[in-house]
Each structure stands twice: as structure tokens, then as C-alpha cells.
Chain A
Amino acid sequence: MLIVGAGHAGAQAAASLRQLGFAGSIGLMGEEPELPYERPPLSKDYLAGDRAFDSMLLRPVPYWASKEIILLLSRRAVAVDAVRRQVETAEGARFSYGSLIWAAGGHARRLTCSGHHLAGVHTVRTRADTDRMRAEVAAVRHAVVIGGGYIGLEAAATLTKFGKPVTIVEMQGRVLARVAGEDLSRFYEAEHRAHGVEILLNCAVDCIEEAAGRACGVRLADGHVLPADMVVVGIGIVPAVEPLRAAGAAGANGVDVDEFCRTSLPDIYAIGDCAAHVNRYAAGARIRLESVQNAADQAAIAAKSITGAPVAYEAVPWFWSNQYDLKLQTIGISIGHDATVLRGDPASRSFSVVYLRQSKVIALDCVNAARDYVQGKALVIGGTEVDVALLAKISVPLKSVPARLQA
């Protein structure tokens, strides 16, 4: 058994295999030198210096040896031979497998404009990324965050804790445009602005300006230059699937898997951020989900298939993001909604956005509203058609919102 990728998905796959009684050898290969660790704190409390790295380890140090899981760290898989059943690393070493789980996730998408490689230009994906930011942050005078997605917003929120002036540059007309509805976007824009963050919308980057070999500014498409000695690029990830695709695995965005996380290649599974799967919570669309939930749940699905007790993947997606004192919890997938209902007043800083498709609840974004998150989950799982007017009444708990009688 070989697992490529030692993040949340790969680590959980190895642990699940042992839990299910898998007795063969397990190799867990990762590009980074670190033992498997939690990634979400990298843009939050680890960046802030409030969390020790050791507390982010997914398992204690002795765990891996005790479970006879061989860690193959600092190794990057560059080629897969699906006929000989071998994975080749960047150093040219070859590892044989009976089954392969591809859990390589993705790499932070980088800018392609001039100056993208300069010192002072950062992405937030690995411990090394965040360590580099932490080493520089004290001397920073102006930080610019490119991309108003979750990573960008979380990084911006953390940088304000250091008292740094932060500007967010977003190409779309609102932050979180790809993942949330407008109510949520406008709320987070207002919150960030209230914390002194400048947000530039509909704003494209031309290049990164250089002084003495370092980034010194971000030139926008309109020619305006924002001073910046730290540039944080949060524009998504590129799924790390090239070796699999080169070996013939089907896929367009990531690598395609079926409901058991099997790729089109024999005995090769893919899980986590890079696995394009048909998700029942996305109206049957083939999607990739970049979340801890998806990583952990798909890891268990692959392990169950390999140990001979296959179960189809149909876990309900959930996600969280912490910024300032705001705790956002998301259930379901809002993509494809045709209506939203605002539940509660954003000015109270505790509210939810309910996303509907054909009067059925498909997702909720809950800000400081754990109760709606928990109770809304049943509505999302049930695909319940509801009386929309009741959703807006905060006096009515979501668990009391009745299903509308079907004609």
C-alpha cells in the first residue's frame, strides 16, 4: 500500500487502513519534511504565533512507527507507472505498490506576472510558507493580499493582529465570490474594513514591483502602485495530479474518481483536494472540495474499499473559517443556488445565509450561529422543500421549520 500525500487525507487514509485491520505494509509519502499536520492554522493562529507547531500534529510522533506506517517524507512523486505499479520520486527512487492512494492535494497557485518570484511574495499552503511569513512580518510596513477568498481573508485578519496596514486586491466584484452569496461577501468586506483593511474590488494585478531584489509594491492594471513589502497570494490551488494524468488517469480539473474514490486506473484511488467526484450536494455535479471534511471522509471511503467493505461517498460537506472574532461555519454547497434567505441581522454579527434551489435548502453559511449550522444540517441532508418565509424568522428554530407538503 502506497499513499502519496501526507496531509489530512493521506494521514487519515493510513490511520483508517490500520483501524480497519489492513495488515500489509503502508508507505506514506509527503513532499514536506514535516510529520502530518493540520493545515487550517497556517493562515490563522499559527501565522499569528499563537499556536505551537507540535500541537498541530495530526498524530503523536510515535504513532506512525507503532502502527507500522512507513513515513517517506521530503519525497515528491513525479511519475506513476500504472502497469508496473510503481511510483517514482524526484530523486529517481521507485516505490512499488499493490494499491495506490493519491492524496497529493495541490500546490498554491502562483502569479505568472513579472515579479511573482521575488522575495516577500508569499503563498499560504505549507508550514514553510507560513514560517517565511512569520520571519518577515515584524519588518513589514505594508502588506497586500492578492485574492479575497478564505485564505486571503484569513491572512489579512491575522496580519492586522500584528498592526500591519493591509490591502486586499480582488478581481471579482466581491470577496468570497466563488464560494458564497453576496450577503456573506458584503458582511466580510464591512468587517475587514472596520478592522482597517482596505479592500479593492474589480481590481486586477499587473505585476509585482521590485526594489533591491525584493517586492516593494503591487502594480494594478490601471497603473496605480500599492506599496507592499509583503505580498500574500491567495488565488487558490493547482491540483497536484500531473503524474497520475500522465499515467492515463481521466480528469479535467484534478483527477476523476467514482463514489468509492477509484480513479480510472486499476487499484489507484484519489482522495481529498485533488479528487474530482460527483457530489450529491452539488446537484450531482463533478467537483473538487478543498476541505478537511472531504479529506477525512474520502480517506475513510478509500480505506473501506481497499479492505473489502466498500461504501459510497455521500458525506455532507462542511467547512469553517475563523476571522477576527467571527466564526463562520458552512454546511452544504451553495453553488447553483437560485435564492438566498438572510436569517438574522448581520449588524448583530450573528446570522445565517440560507441557500435554496427550487425552494430546497442546499446550504447554509452561519456566522457566530452554531445552532443554525447544526439544525440546518438536517435540512440540507434531507433536501427538504421548506416554507421559505419561515426561514427568515429567527424566532423559529431551523429544526422546527416544517417540510412543505408536496403536491
Chain B
Amino acid sequence: MPSLIVTDTKGATRTVDSAAGFSVMEAIRTAGFDDLLALCGGCCSCATCHVIVDTADFAKVGPAGPDEEDLLDGSDERTPTSRLSCQIPFTAALDGLRVTLAKEG
């Protein structure tokens, strides 16, 4: 199973595994991170699953889509490597991906 390295809003880092077919948001939620609200459940209707992708990994993940871009634009925590984690399918190619949970959606 590909694994994901997640840093929460307090700075604690943990490695989590996820089966194929899930989004990065689902992988993080399934691992029980409380900081990630993901209120809309993954339909790209809010911005409460905002993560900051490690700069070195961003090319593998790629940029946000149009709606996602607009939603991220409304966040004070926005960085050049911000993504909504519900919009990133977690595939084997992303094994070892490092993300940090943004403080506010």
C-alpha cells in the first residue's frame, strides 16, 4: 500500500497507509486526523481539506483544477503548493507523498 506522510497543525508527523482508490483526503481522514474537517465529504464544495504539499512532491501531484483553485483562493493559508486533498487521487505513484494540514479551511 502506498503511504502518505502527514504533518498536522501542531507539527506532529505520522506516516499512514492507504489502499488504492481513495483520495488523499480520505486517506488522511481514515487515519483519524482531527485537524482535517473535510466538511463537504469530498465534492469540492468547501475548502476544509486544504493541505500544503511538500515542494519537492508538488510536480507529482500537479496544480489545482479551476473550482479548486477558486476555493483555495479564499484561504488565508494559501501557499504556492496548496491543494484540496479531496481532489488528489492517492495512487501508487504518490507513495511517500508529504503533506501538511493547513490551519484553517
Interface residues of A (CB under 8 A from B): 15, 18-19, 38, 40-41, 55-56, 59-60, 62-63, 66, 292-293, 296, 318, 320, 322, 327, 329, 370-371, 373-375, 377
Q: Mark B71-82, 1 if CB is under 8 A from A, else 0.
A: 101100000000
Which chain B residue has the least Cβ–Cβ distance from A54? B30
- When the two chains form their complex, are residues B32 and A322 in contact, meaning their CB atoms are under 8 A apart? no
B39, B40, B46, B66 — which one has the most chain A CB atoms within 10 A of its CB? B39
Interchain CA distance A371-B68 in the complex, whole Å: 9
A320 CA to B39 CA, complexed, in Å? 11
Of listed A15, A63, A377, residue having the most chain B CB within 10 A = A63
Find A56's partner among B34, B41, B74 (CB 8 Å cutoff): B41
Q: Are B71 and A296 in contact (CB under 8 A)?
A: no
Q: How far is the CA of A146 from the CA of B41 in the complex (A)?
A: 27
The answer to the question of B15 belonging to the interface, with a C-beta cut-off of 8 Å to chain A, is no
Is B39 in contact with A377, judged by CB distance below 8 angstroms? Answer: no
Could you tell me if A375 and B74 are in contact, using CB atoms closer than 8 angstroms? yes
Given contact pairs A15-B34, A320-B45, A329-B45, A60 touches B29 in the complex (Cβ within 8 A):
yes
Interface string of B46-70 (1 = CB under 8 A from A): 1000000000000000000011001
How big is the B interface, by class?
20 to 34
| CB <8 Å contact, A296 and B74 | no
Would A40 and B71 be within 8 Å (CB), given that A60-B30, A62-B32, A66-B32 are in contact? Answer: no
Q: Closest 6 A-B residue pairs measured CB to CB?
A: A374-B74, A320-B45, A370-B70, A371-B70, A370-B67, A63-B32
CB-CB under 8 A from B40, the residues of chain A are 40, 292, 320
Chain B residues packing against A (C-beta within 8 Å): 22, 26, 29-32, 34, 37, 39-41, 43-46, 66-67, 70-71, 73-74
What are 14 A-to-B residue pairs whose CB atoms are below 8 Å?
A: A38-B41, A40-B40, A60-B29, A63-B32, A66-B32, A292-B39, A320-B46, A327-B43, A370-B44, A371-B70, A371-B73, A374-B74, A375-B74, A377-B74
Given contacts A320-B45, A320-B46, whether A374 and B73 have CB atoms under 8 Å apart is: yes
Q: Which residue of B lies closest to A291 (CB)?
A: B39
> What residues of B have a CB within 8 angstroms of the CB of A55 in the complex?
22, 26
B29 x A296 contact (CB < 8 A)? no
Q: In the assembled complex, which residues on chain A have CB atoms less than 8 Å from the CB atom of B71?
A: 370, 373-374
Whether A320 and B43, one on each chain, are in contact in the complex, defined by CB atoms closer than 8 angstroms, is yes
Cα-based distance from A60 to B41 in the complex (angstroms): 14
Residues of chain A lying within 8 A (CB to CB) of residue B30: 60
A38 vs B30: C-alpha distance when bound (angstroms): 14
Known: A40-B41, A292-B40, A329-B45. A19 touches B34 (CB 8 A): yes
Min CB distance, B43 to chain A, in Å? 6
A63, B36: Cα distance in complex, Å: 14
Distance A292 CA – B39 CA, assembled complex (angstroms): 7
Distance between A66 CB and nearest chain B CB, rounded to angstroms: 7
What residues of chain B lie closer than 8 Å to A327, measured between beta carbons?
A: 43-45, 67
Q: How far is the CB of A154 from chain B (nearest CB, A)?
A: 12
Q: Nearest Cβ in chain A — how far from B59, in angstroms? A: 25
Residues in B neighbouring A56, C-beta threshold 8 A: 41
The distance from the CB of B30 to the nearest CB of chain A, in whole angstroms, is: 5
Contact, CB under 8 Å: A60 / B43? no
For the A-B complex with A18-B34, A374-B74 known, give 12 more contacts whose Cβ atoms are closer than 8 Å.
A40-B40, A41-B41, A60-B29, A60-B32, A293-B39, A296-B39, A322-B45, A327-B44, A370-B44, A370-B66, A373-B71, A375-B74
B19 to chain A, nearest CB (A): 11
A374/B70 in contact, CB under 8 A: yes
Select from chain B the residue with minimum beta-carbon distance to A64. Answer: B32
Q: How far is the CB of A166 from chain B (nearest CB, A)?
A: 22
**Whose C-beta in chain A lies nearest to the C-beta of B42?**
A55
Query: What's the Cα separation between A359 and B73 when bound, in Å?
Result: 26
